[in-house]
Amino acid sequence: MTTTPNQLPDNPYVLLTPGPLSTSKKVKAAMLRDWCTWDQDYNQLVQSIRSRLVTMASSKPDDYTTVLMQGSGTFSVESVIGSVIPKDGKLLVLANGAYGKRIAQIADVLGIYSIVLDAGETKPVNVKQLEEVLKVDSSITHVAVVHVETTTGMMNPIADVARIAKQYGKTLILDAMSSFGGIPIDIAELDIDYLISSANKCIQGVPGFGFIIARKESLVKCRGLARSLSLDLYDQWETMEQGNGKWRYTSPTHTVRAFDQALQELEEEGGVARRFERFTRNQQTLVDGMQRMGLQPLLPTELQSPIITSFLYPDSSVFSFDEFYARIKQEGFVIYPGKITAAATFRIGNIGDVHLPDIERLLQGIERQLFWKTT
Ligand SMILES: *Cc1c(COP(=O)(O)O)cnc(C)c1O
């Protein structure tokens, strides 16, 4: 490796978005080479990534395996939904935002029988209703839920969902896209069958692939079930296992190299528990500072994740998000529009290579730009 991170240009702004997000210079530097794919070095790297992910997710690593999948996070969600539910299966989706709804939409497009329990955008998914439905509808085979609904930043009660789903013997699919690597989880303890996440969120890599951490006992039953060739989860797994880290079709080599570096940095930071502390500190500092300036979060603290926060527009006819966005970008930060219909909001993420001094600089920048307050 001859490139030094110091030779890389500085970013004009910090991304405070839920991914792609700000990455370290070493992560970016890892991509500045033409890496070969079809050899031992690369395959070993892939195998190492797969096993490190399993260890991160599960206290029983031998029971689980990782499948890496090309594409953005949604491709991995579609891979799971399309590959693990048999023809006569039925999916129950717990939704409270865009990403829960997307799971249901995938099922619709693929012609998978599904029902959606939609709690609305500002409430956690409804565990009581889940139990009522599972009690009366024994044809349901799979339950899917989003861990942190990035639409609002809400943390869903996945331990309760898992307990009920398992009590009724259902296969459980967790979209942990925006939380995995940033919020500790033990999928063995929760008895989760499939956890889905991607390279460019809390692990702080760049976009290009997602990954599925699957219970082996569940995955082995999925041979020949896939409704897609390129997104066939079982086939992708079999190839990676038999070829010792080989991908079917072109692998996103540079992204994988960057991801390896990102995983190393996560380990150096002290693992998921330490990263969770950093994100939590970022988020609390952000909310405290915003509240001091009269900007209120959408969600009550007990529902709020340490990943991304929705803020209500200030109550002023002078406020415009576009102007606020442009001014904050001038200050060196890119924020995110809101995504819900229930209230006018904007969002600020605090994941990525973002640290307390960044949040403090952001707050100072926002304080200079409270244009709706001056007359
Ligand atoms: C980011 C995200 C996804 C996947 O989005 P892509 O744009 O396809 O990468 C899925 N679910 C959740 C909860 C997310 O935050």
Dump pLDDT digits (tens) for 20-61.
999 999 999 999 998 888 788 999 999 999 999 999 999 999
Tokens of 358: 């960044």
Nearest to 246 by CA among 31, 10, 24, 41: 41
What confidence tens digit (pLDDT) does each residue in 318-350 have? Answer: 999 999 999 999 999 999 999 888 899 999 999
66 and 171 in a common domain: yes
Q: How far is CA 338 from CA 32, 197, 266, 297, 366, in A?
A: 34, 22, 29, 12, 17
279 and 261 in a common domain: no
Domain's final residue, options 232, 267, 302: 267
Beta bridge partners of 4: none
- DSSP secondary structure letter of residue 169: T
Contacts of 106 (CB under 8 A, 6+ apart): 74, 77, 78, 81, 82
What is the band of 18 on the pLDDT scale with cuts at 50, 70, 90?
confident
pLDDT of residue 4: 66
Distance 177 CA to ligand 1 centre (A): 6
Distance 4 CA to ligand 1 centre (A): 32
- DSSP secondary structure letter of residue 301: G
Hey, how many other C-beta atoms are within 10 angstroms of the C-beta on 82? Answer: 21
164 and 133 in a common domain: yes
151 and 285 in a common domain: no
What is the band of 8 on the pLDDT scale with cuts at 50, 70, 90?
confident
198 and 85 in a common domain: yes
Residue 30 lies in a domain: no
pLDDT of residue 37: 83
Residue 4 lies in a domain: no
Dihedral, CA of residue 16, residue 9, residue 199 and residue 302, to nearest 10: -20
Helix, strand, coil % over all residues of the chain, rounded to 5: 40, 15, 40
Cα–Cα distance for residue pair 250/248, rounded to 1 Å: 7
Tell me the mean pLDDT in the region 115-121. 97
Residue 256 lies in a domain: yes
Count: domains in the chain? 2
282 and 261 in a common domain: no
303 and 155 in a common domain: no
Domain's final residue, options 217, 251, 267: 267
Sign of CA dihedral 187, 192, 193, 199: negative
The distance from CA 279 to its chain's CA centroid, rounded to whole angstroms, is: 14
Residue 254 lies in a domain: yes
Residue 345 lies in a domain: yes
Q: Which atom of ligand 1 is nearest to the CA of 176?
A: 13
Cα–Cα distance for residue pair 46/166, rounded to 1 Å: 32
Q: Which atom of ligand 1 is nearest to the CA of 149?
A: 13
Cα–Cα distance for residue pair 160/126, rounded to 1 Å: 10
Distance 183 CA to ligand 1 centre (A): 16
Is-above-0.85 flag for pTM?
yes
The distance from CA 153 to its chain's CA centroid, rounded to whole angstroms, is: 11
333 and 248 in a common domain: no
What confidence tens digit (pLDDT) does each residue in 278-296 have? Answer: 999 999 999 999 999 999 9
Residue 45 lies in a domain: yes
What CATH code is carried by the domain that includes residue 338? 3.90.1150.10
Residue written as tokens 């949040």?
A: 359
- Pocket of ligand 1, beta carbon within 6 A: 18-19, 72-74, 77, 99, 146, 150, 175, 177-178, 198
* Best of 125, 147, 178 for a ligand 1 pocket test (most atoms within 8 Å of beta carbon): 178
pLDDT of residue 342: 85
347 is in an annotated binding site: yes
Cα–Cα distance for residue pair 214/238, rounded to 1 Å: 13
39 and 184 in a common domain: yes
Hey, how many other C-beta atoms are within 10 angstroms of the C-beta on 108? Answer: 12
* 8 A C-beta contact, residue 115 and residue 92: yes
Domain that holds residue 230: 35-267
The distance from CA 6 to its chain's CA centroid, rounded to whole angstroms, is: 29
Residue 19 lies in a domain: no
- DSSP secondary structure letter of residue 331: T
Cα–Cα distance for residue pair 360/334, rounded to 1 Å: 15
222 and 82 in a common domain: yes
pLDDT for 205 beyond 80: yes
Distance 173 CA to ligand 1 centre (A): 15
Q: How far is CA 239 from CA 43, 207, 214, 221, 243, in A?
A: 12, 22, 15, 16, 6
Distance 73 CA to ligand 1 centre (A): 5
pLDDT of residue 169: 98
* Best of 74, 202, 339 for a ligand 1 pocket test (most atoms within 8 Å of beta carbon): 74
Domain's final residue, options 247, 267, 287: 267
* 8 A C-beta contact, residue 147 and residue 179: yes
Distance 39 CA to ligand 1 centre (A): 31
What CATH code is carried by the domain that includes residue 112? 3.40.640.10
192 and 212 in a common domain: yes
What confidence tens digit (pLDDT) does each residue in 231-286 have? Answer: 999 999 999 999 999 999 999 999 999 999 999 999 999 999 999 999 999 999 99
* Best of 81, 154, 175 for a ligand 1 pocket test (most atoms within 8 Å of beta carbon): 175
Hey, how many other C-beta atoms are within 10 angstroms of the C-beta on 111? Answer: 10
186 and 319 in a common domain: no
pLDDT of residue 288: 98
Residue 315 lies in a domain: yes
